[in-house]
A = this chain, B = another copy of it.
Amino acid sequence: MSTARPTSPGPGDEREMSRVRILTAAAEIAAEHGYEGTTISKVTKRSGLPASSVYWFFRDKDHLLAEVVRHSFEQWIAAEPRWERDPRDGRSLAEGLRSILSRSTRGLPGAPDFLRIGHMLLLESREVEAEARQYFLATRDAVASSIAAWFTSHFGTGLRARRPELAMDLARIVIASTDGLFLAHQIDEAGDPDDFITIIVAIVEQAVADAG
């Protein structure tokens, strides 16, 4: 709220600051009240900027919400661990998976509103917001692909040839499990993420063992 008086005029990024203030305010409101519950009036009150400024940066409410999804995702991937092979991640697939999931779930509570907004867009089935929803789905697919690639890189050539779809199946399981964990987290702060990691690792080991 009480940030950045115009008394210290920075470079030309004053423009970007207002834009971001509107985007973050809209993201918080969208995460709390859903798509239709996000009103321009609420955005102006939380951001401290008038409606004319909102419409200066964004052509309409739909476009604003689409940019909110894009912006909150950019913040999310900045904190989210890469699904890439990391020397620190241990030697075996299970150790690596545990390491990467541990970093992932740790960031879940403090995560920005990306997942909340995304899940709402999935649940709310409207056609108008096609842009924001489409963008979230595309992002989701990209994450699934990188997780699948991570799995593939841990498979032997034999398994890779025998079960080419296994990596993507496992990726979908990881995502669905994360969704369930995230939703449970919306209810109470309890629920040990480590238990969930143990479970996911067990699933993957089981699946790979069955396939191998």
Chain B residues within 8 Å of A179, by CB: 179-180, 183-184
Q: How far is the CA of A138 from the CA of B179 in the complex (A)?
A: 21
Contact (Cβ within 8 A) B169 A195: yes
Q: Choose one: B120, B137, B187; the contact of A120 (CB below 8 Å).
A: B120
Contact (Cβ within 8 A) B37 A35: yes
Q: Choose one: B35, B122, B195, B202; the contact of A187 (CB below 8 Å).
A: B122
Closest to A181 in B: B176
Q: Quick one: which of A32, A34, A207 has the most chain B CB within 10 A?
A: A34
Q: How far is the CA of A100 from the CA of B32 in the complex (A)?
A: 35
CB distance from A26 to the nearest CB of B (A): 15
A119 an interface residue at 8 Å Cβ cutoff?
yes
Q: Which of A68-76, A77-85, A123-131 contacts B (4 or more CB under 8 A)?
A: A123-131
State whether A183 and B187 are in contact (beta carbons under 8 Å apart), knowing that A37-B34, A120-B34, A123-B116 are contacts in the complex: no
A189 an interface residue at 8 Å Cβ cutoff?
no
A13 an interface residue at 8 Å Cβ cutoff?
no
Chain B residues within 8 Å of A122, by CB: 183, 186-187
